[in-house]
Chains A and B, each alone.
Chain A
């Protein structure tokens, strides 16, 4: 296994930058996507991340700049800010693509303009945003490693609206949309909600793409009442949406995307599995428990749940440490009413670098045991303990 881990292809950068790899298994390629929108050819800023050793055509996961509530917000957006999300998707088996819509970053095209609280203004914005996403997908589809028949689009706040707008067109190959805190307000605080609800009703009339929408009950910008109205309008019109309103885990207000990443990843992963799309699965967790040679049924169940809850969905960079001493310390009780196995693993997730994650996971483990070793880096097994 170790040999496989160390094997990676040198990253090739279209812009001639110095090759680098964040984790040893990913290839990152900054790219300018040549797109044609409304007869005009221009270039959009973005990049592509994939597993270096992946073979054949990979399904496309498209992320676009969001994290802002208005059409003109997030003017300082960079594609690099989405790199760690893209890496997490690449590790799940996707050709992860980040694109900045027209006028953002170094993407060409007109700068976005403030929205008037009129349906025509919203419709024009939504059409343009969906055009940008469709054009990027068309461009990426030309790559020999892209499977244009399997595409998902993910966005937060205004980018969530863009993704839902794209789903209303039922583009070929689009199999799912994930909208996190999806919504839009006007720059001038004029009343936008009714227009947004009407817009979502129109989206729902056309859309037959499975949608996953995630909101937070404490969201002050896209409050639960608005989210419920968008949801009802979309459903009433015939749209297909799984609606998740966080009230405990993930209840962080508007910034779920960045501040409750593990929570929405867990929802996304379940959605992807239900649609038979790539991500980690229960079999992967069982595989880790097998490799750790844990035999007791109760211990296995407990560790599987522990890994599902705390490690697999969590964002990278991350690492998992294991200690045989920790495992041996737990003695199976007579009944399981009041005794739980102690997990024989420690972990650190959401780190800046893999080295940080490794060091953190080891340090936690070494507080209580001497025989700790890193057994997973991100979603890769690297242990060769026994």
Chain B
């Protein structure tokens, strides 16, 4: 059976992140991580999906929900090895959203991990194929909304859908259905990609016009200019069709990130750039993220003058796990992001102390050191 349904989605990113993440799937003590099966109904049939929930340990009451949707690997068999915490979206991306006040939810769609199977979207290359894939993926997310909404810590009147690569495309398809409570869609390097399937050249403008004409939620699209799955001219076709059909879209293009800006979006360099744009977008739409007043609070706690304001703001926006090291005289500092807080601490201390002065860790993720 030669069914090379190779979206090439975030395969490269996964390969890189997977190898690193085998060592950790734990989150820092400021977060709670919960794994469970969701029992959902799709087309009236029972379906069991794996789900990962991450939220702040100090969260109280009902939290807004972010559905973080994974991409597709190049080959079907690899979907069974997919890991929500390890490769895509990865525990650190879920943690970034959880720390911003969200109940972060990542499900394995059908065919991935231990969720029921097989993968639903595997039609052959044709002009209507990709839309059928996106809709099949959106079915799984939509079905899981009902199960998540039953949680006492979930507020289904405030939800956003985000995802990388095919997970971003799935989020777009969900957004075009305007499910109640969905406030926004965040698409990270997601669109139509299938190496060798020339029919996509025709389907992209049709599908994105269709999606744009139905979507009534604000969209944020984040792409790097060197995305090897989505060249700039293709991104422009998608943007023009989607926005031209009346959708509310903000597109942000980043300078090249790494060798391939598609997988580069999930690198620390990529996350550092798009989290700033995401925060701006969330604030503009009155959706939760870390409050800008945290900059003043941190400056006071750290006894730093206003001249350090931009630096502290950049630190607070940066992806986790992160730590901020500072010399005892407060004149020099360095912060680093790593897969574990421990590694972030070590790296920040190491860089900070390169000039020979002793440094101490003063911030860990979004809190003063020692407060966790």
Contacts and interface: CB of A to CB of B under 8 A. Distances in A.
Contacts of B234: 337
Contact of B75 (A246, A305, A337): A305
Interface in A226-256: 228, 231-232, 235, 241-250
B228 A266 contact: no
Contacts of A262: 1
Contact of B113 (A245, A269, A274): A274
A193 interface: no
Interface residues of B, number: 39
B116 A336 contact: no
A266 B77 contact: yes
A269 B80 contact: yes
A263 to B, nearest CB: 8
For the residues of A in contact with B, the DSSP-based class is helix
A243 B115 CA distance: 8
B231 A335 contact: yes
Contact of B76 (A243, A300, A309): A309
A249 B3 CA distance: 9
Most buried by A among B4, B8, B195: B195
A313 B77 contact: yes
Contacts of B48: 235, 241-243
Interface string A255-282: 0000000110011011101100000011
A308 B118 contact: no
Contact of B118 (A249, A273, A305): A249
Contacts of A340: 4, 6, 195-196
A53 interface: no
A245 B228 CA distance: 34
A274 to B, nearest CB: 5
A301 B11 contact: yes
A2 interface: no
A336 B3 contact: no
Contacts of B195: 336-340
Interface string A329-341: 0000001111110
Top 8 closest pairs, chain A to chain B, by CB: A270-B80, A305-B75, A244-B117, A308-B77, A305-B74, A309-B75, A243-B116, A232-B46
Interface of B: 1-4, 6, 8, 11-12, 15, 18, 39, 45-48, 73-78, 80-81, 113-118, 122, 193, 195-196, 198, 228-229, 231, 234, 259
22 contacts: A228-B45, A235-B39, A241-B48, A243-B47, A243-B117, A244-B117, A249-B76, A262-B1, A266-B76, A267-B118, A269-B80, A274-B80, A274-B114, A282-B18, A300-B15, A305-B75, A308-B78, A313-B77, A335-B228, A336-B8, A336-B195, A337-B234
Interface of A: 228, 231-232, 235, 241-250, 262-263, 266-267, 269-271, 273-274, 281-282, 297-298, 300-302, 304-306, 308-310, 312-313, 335-340
